[in-house]
Copies of this chain bind each other. A is one copy, B any other.
Amino acid sequence: MKHTLNIWVIGGDLRQVKLAQLLQNDGHAVHTFGLENTPESVCEGEETLMGVQRADCVILPLPVTGDGVVLNAPFAKGEIEVTHVLDALCREQLICGGRVDEQTLMLARERGLTVHDYFAREELAVANGVPTAEGAIQIAMEELPITIHGSRILVIGYGRIGRLLAHRFHVLGAKVSVAARKWSDLAWAEVFGYGVEQTDQLDGWLCGYDLIVNTVPTRVLDEDRLRELKEGCLVIDLASKPGGVDLQAAGRLGVKVVWALSLPGKVAPITAGKAILNTVYNILREQEA
């Protein structure tokens, strides 16, 4: 990892732009393709994929594609097909991409290529937890007419996001409870000073909260539970599809729900780009070892 690499960053949003800049700052020879229309100028934008053959490492966007066909490249001057990119790569290169779908994996395999999914790595998930947690705090501050300090907050789920969130609300002075299923998760929540609830036994205990943040991708907040919430209680759902809240019931009951997905790229693209950088470096280190 001491030497200078030839790296291509292809497609993506502000995170990839930042990633390219950071790679260049670290002394690598960086080329970009499909980032033409970015707000700030990026290093050595290429007109074509000619020259990508000489790359040591190629970094595809997060996600690589939305539909399995077109590369996710909102800043490109035109549409780029995934196959157009894959056709230009060779098997000696380290190819990385984020949230790589089955279709792309298959297309790569057909060409003898391996795509390493940086988004599947634990350390990126942890690092992304920070902007997600901050994004949720920002939403809570924007929506609630009370301060986080002194408010009563329930965090459902005690995985990565749950931990980072409960910690932040706690240090900001909120009275935090955590709902989880596993005794060991509840034990962790307790040693960090939060109140604890069994997720199964939440019925009848939801009326005391000013804010409920869900991180669990199963229907935890159904109509019956939503009915319990006190007036003005805000619900933030961070769970990926299908989400953990019955949105229709919430609408009928007048409960305000903010379903917030993909926060890192939205609230802190630079931090998110840096997290991808660190993960790509880890992949490179492991390949060399």
Contact = CB atoms under 8 A, between A and B. Distances in A.
Nearest to A135: B141
A138 interface: yes
A146 B186 contact: no
Interface residues of A, number: 45
A135 B149 CA distance: 12
Interface of A: 14, 121-124, 126-127, 129-131, 134-135, 137-138, 141-142, 144-150, 164, 167-168, 171-173, 182-184, 186-188, 190-193, 267-271, 282
A145 B187 contact: no
B131 A147 contact: yes
A184 B122 contact: yes
A184 B134 contact: no
Nearest to A266: B145
B122 A134 contact: no
A172 B168 contact: yes
Q: Secondary structure at chain A's binding surface: helix, strand, loop or mixed?
A: helix
A130 B269 contact: no
B147 A164 contact: no
Given A127-B191, A171-B171, A271 B138 contact: no
A168 to B, nearest CB: 6
Contacts of A172: 134, 168, 171-172
B164 A122 contact: no
Nearest to A134: B147
18 contacts: A122-B184, A122-B187, A123-B184, A126-B187, A127-B191, A130-B147, A130-B149, A130-B191, A134-B141, A134-B147, A134-B149, A138-B142, A141-B267, A146-B270, A149-B271, A164-B191, A167-B192, A168-B172
Given A184-B122, A186-B123, A282-B183, A145 B268 contact: yes
Given A171-B172, A191-B173, A145 B269 contact: yes
A173 B170 CA distance: 11
* Residue with the highest number of chain B CB atoms closer than 10 Å, among A14, A149, A268, A270: A149
